């Protein structure tokens, strides 16, 4: 593991992806054109396509496909790491909801397949069930980002604190939570859960979310992408619309928080 830089410039990107891949990527490029210097660009879950199960299957790609090639070029152009919040991975006839972390040179250094697949009944009575399209992953994935220890998660994983505690026990400094969190659940649970995962593990949380309405399902996403500090403080928050925000996070904030309340040292289980 390399020695960590004390400061990391994090750009969290909020998108309203629809069913047209090329249109989504064009709008993403427009949002990124105004971000300035950064160390990592964090994109939301299903950042390149959001629609029906048929749309997802039709746009599924191998991890050496054209979408990853485009992400690699984006990393090199901005001289920044890229968290591809998730794309639809095609592998051995199956689809996975997979998050990738690419370094500044465009190399993929980590790939995480979403372990917990979302299922919920909406107010309309309609049920969302990701297992109808995706296979579940079965392996937590940590990555070293220039000395920052990062735990990879996707959206619904946020409700499973044992995954975050696993990463914490492995020395995590930062959790990535790229999401397509719905308005239905987000208004009650999104901020509470993000801040809880940060507070109980004394880590940073980087959580880019989708916004707007899925043009197929008409399900609205909550937006409110956030970066949360280890004390639970909200360092950046995007409310509505496609946009990006950059915030500098400081490794010393983790050390200060853990000195103030050494809860991680007091664990019994």
Distance from C-alpha of 155 to C-alpha of 159, rounded to nearest angstrom? 8
**Which residues is 179 bridged to in the sheet?**
209
- 114 classed as catalytic: yes
Residues 127, 117: Cα–Cα separation, whole Å: 13
Distance in angstroms between the alpha carbons of the first and the last residue of the chain: 27
**Annotated active-site residue in 114, 135, 203, 211:** 114
Q: Which of 150, 155, 203, 211 is catalytic?
A: 155
Could you tell me if 116 and 79 are in contact, meaning their C-beta atoms sit under 8 angstroms apart?
A: no
Q: Catalytic site residue 268?
A: no
- Of the residues 45, 89, 135, 242, only one is catalytic, namely 45
Cα–Cα distance, 208 to 228 (Å, whole number):
11
C-alpha span between 82 and 109 (Å, rounded): 10
Active site residue 45: yes
Residues facing 266 on adjacent strands? none
Q: Which residues are catalytic?
A: 45, 114, 155
């Amino acid at each position: 593991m390399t020695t960590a830089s004390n400061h990391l410039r994090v750009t969290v990107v909020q998108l309203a992806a629809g069913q047209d891949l090329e249109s989504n990527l064009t709008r993403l490029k427009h949002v990124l054109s105004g971000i300035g210097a950064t160390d990592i660009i964090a994109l939301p879950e299903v950042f390149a396509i959001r629609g029906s199960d048929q749309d997802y299957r039709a746009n599924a790609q191998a991890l050496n496909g054209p979408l990853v090639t485009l992400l690699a070029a984006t990393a090199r152009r901005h001289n920044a790491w890229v968290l591809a919040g998730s794309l639809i991975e095609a592998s051995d006839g199956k689809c996975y909801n997979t998050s990738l972390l690419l370094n500044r040179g465009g190399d993929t250094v980590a790939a995480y397949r979403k372990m917990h697949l979302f299922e919920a009944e909406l107010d309309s009575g309609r049920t969302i069930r990701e297992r109808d399209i995706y296979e579940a992953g079965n392996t937590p994935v940590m990555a070293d980002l220039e000395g920052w220890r990062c735990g990879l998660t996707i959206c619904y994983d946020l409700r499973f604190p044992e995954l975050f505690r696993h990463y914490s026990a492995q020395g995590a400094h930062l959790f990535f939570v790229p999401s397509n969190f719905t308005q239905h659940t987000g208004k009650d649970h999104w901020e509470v859960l993000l801040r809880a995962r940060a507070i109980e593990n004394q880590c940073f949380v980087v959580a880019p979310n989708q916004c707007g309405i899925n043009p197929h399902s008409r399900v609205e996403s909550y937006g409110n992408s956030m970066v949360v500090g280890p004390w639970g403080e909200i360092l950046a928050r995007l409310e509505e619309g496609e946009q990006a925000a950059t915030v500098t996070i400081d490794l010393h904030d983790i050390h200060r928080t853990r000195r103030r309340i050494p809860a991680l040292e007091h664990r019994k289980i």
